[in-house]
A and B are shown apart, each in its own frame.
Chain A
Amino acid sequence: MSKLSREDVLKLAALSKLKLSDEEVVRLQAELGEILDYVNLLDKVDATGQDPTYQVSGLKNVYRKDEVKDYGYQAEELLKNAPAIQDGQFKVKRVL
């Protein structure tokens, strides 16, 4: 069993920006351990001499022209889903 400590789970939660409940921490500690146990079966696979594959499209360096395009959007449309706006910009809670 891949042991994840409670501290490991809390650290992952902090990195993931999730404020987990105590109950979730307990549950995830068990579930994540079980999932990692399963994927650990790759430990036994010999893949020496193979390069990793990060994408499968076979495409390389797809560029577009360096020009500004007008897609016809108004700022208001793009801001309409924001929880808070001010002066045409996203408004966030205090940082410090």
Chain B
Amino acid sequence: MDTWPAISQIADDVKSGKLKATDLVNRSLKTIEEGKEYDAIISTLADRALTRAAKIDNNPAGRLAGVPFIAKDNFLTLGGKTTAASNILRPFEAPYQATAIERLEAEGAICVAKANLDAFAHGSSTENSDWFVTKNPHDKTRVPGGSSGGSAASVVLNMVPFALGTDTGGSIRLPASFVGAVGVKPTYGRVSRSGVVAMASSTDVIGPLARTVDDAALVLDVMAGQDELDSTTITKAQNLTELDYNFADKKIGLVKEYMQEGLEPSVKTVIEAAIDKIKAAGAEVSEISLPSLPLALAVYYIVCPAEVSSNLSRYDGQRYGHSAAEAKSLEESYELSREQGFGAEAKRRIMIGTYVLSSGYYDAYYKKAQTVRTKIINEFTDAFSNYDLLIGPTSPTVAFKIGEKTADPLKMYLNDIMTVAANMSGNPAISLPAGTADGLPVGLQMIAPMGADGIMLAAAKAFERLSR
């Protein structure tokens, strides 16, 4: 389980002939096999990966030449199945690939495997996977966070130099925090969602999990930009890999609401130590209150299920995925296929979403939530008129025990309390390893102004330098 070199270094060495893509893919596949006990991986794409590697070795090119990676299993990929860790998509073979995958491949990267997740990305521990629960690499009795838990664990287990995740309410940042990786949730629209199994379309974003900010920034830079297959994508105005930043002249806001009740004292200690380092580097750090942020989770658990209930209506057992063979009519085929194919959490979200969108409740729930969403956005906008960055913990706790929260869905939802606001507003955010509490990783979260992904990554790299 050796650590991988920097991604840019790997690509350079493949292009100079010093490293062979085929060897890199084999190393990945071997490490995946050795790490089986962690249940991070749903399937490998060995044949396709080795074919691509051989081609790349003949003519190595690209910013990611020969670099193996793992995609969360809600990215459509060729060469195997795409299941979203759900029973209803268990037999599904995608006929095309996600734009993000296509862009990485165009620069020479090689997708070697698909990582576990909470089914349809509904969850924050991977315990909602219809396949198995991924174990935290630091303590096998604990969760890796979720929903991109398999991706996060695969990076820390050195299976690959980077992995892809999706973040709808915190699903990249929370697992990054729980396993000690860098996890980037870019600005909404930064990366095309085409070919990614939709969860809540107004907050879904795609981002990298990696060991270093440099690695994550390079991957994001390759994926970012407009895509005609996703009309919500925004233009990439800035190179995301030029990471110069000086804390000396910066004003940074410590989010008061994230430092209050519910924050584990041991996590708080680590975050305060991180803040001291940032202060020592010259930044002016002061507490700022965004009073509506604690409402973001309630907003999310109206808006997200509403969008989920709509997005999951396509799984009807007729065109692809699990289909109940015993059904006698079309109606019964819908009802049985969905009943058999969806897990408990998907059903909860579909039902809640159907409820809050139904006539008579729409104004009280859905519209009210979207109005409070505006309040949250306004508070962020106001904060960024005075501050360059906002910081705080990624999660109120370290990784919790497997099974600790599965009996209480609401308790599970509360894991996202500090990540979800940035999804409702669209702002870029990142989780960075800040240290450990009781031997388990703690993540520092940075939130940046809309579109300021580059500045955020630069600040993250400056912090990474301080903490080495």
Contact = CB atoms under 8 A, between A and B. Distances in A.
Interface of A: 9, 12-13, 15-21, 24, 28, 31-32, 34-36, 38-39, 41-43, 45, 47, 50-59, 62, 64, 71, 73, 77-78, 80-84, 90, 92-96
A51 B335 CA distance: 37
B202 A17 contact: no
Main secondary structure of the interface of A (DSSP, over half): loop
A93 B409 contact: no
A52 B367 contact: yes
A64 B228 contact: yes
Interface residues of B, number: 70
Given A19-B336, A42-B368, A96-B329, 16 more contacts: A12-B355, A18-B335, A28-B347, A34-B409, A34-B410, A35-B352, A43-B368, A45-B292, A45-B295, A47-B368, A51-B374, A57-B188, A57-B189, A81-B320, A90-B319, A93-B328
Interface string B230-248: 0110100000000000000
Contact of B301 (A17, A38, A92): A38
22 contacts: A12-B354, A15-B354, A16-B351, A18-B335, A18-B342, A35-B352, A38-B298, A38-B410, A39-B298, A39-B302, A42-B369, A45-B292, A45-B375, A47-B368, A53-B370, A57-B189, A58-B234, A81-B93, A81-B320, A82-B318, A83-B318, A92-B318
Contact of B375 (A18, A32, A34, A50): A50
Interface in B287-343: 292, 295, 298-299, 301-302, 309, 313, 316-321, 323, 325, 327-336, 338-339, 342
Interface of B: 91-93, 95-96, 188-189, 202, 228, 231-232, 234, 292, 295, 298-299, 301-302, 309, 313, 316-321, 323, 325, 327-336, 338-339, 342, 344, 347-348, 350-352, 354-355, 358, 364-365, 367-375, 377-378, 409-410, 413, 424-426, 450
A42 B317 CA distance: 36
Contacts of A90: 318-319
Contacts of B375: 45, 47, 50
Given A18-B347, A38-B410, A83-B318, A52 B373 contact: yes
Main secondary structure of the interface of B (DSSP, over half): helix
Given A12-B354, A41-B295, A57-B189, A94 B330 contact: yes
A56 B188 contact: yes
Nearest to A71: B96
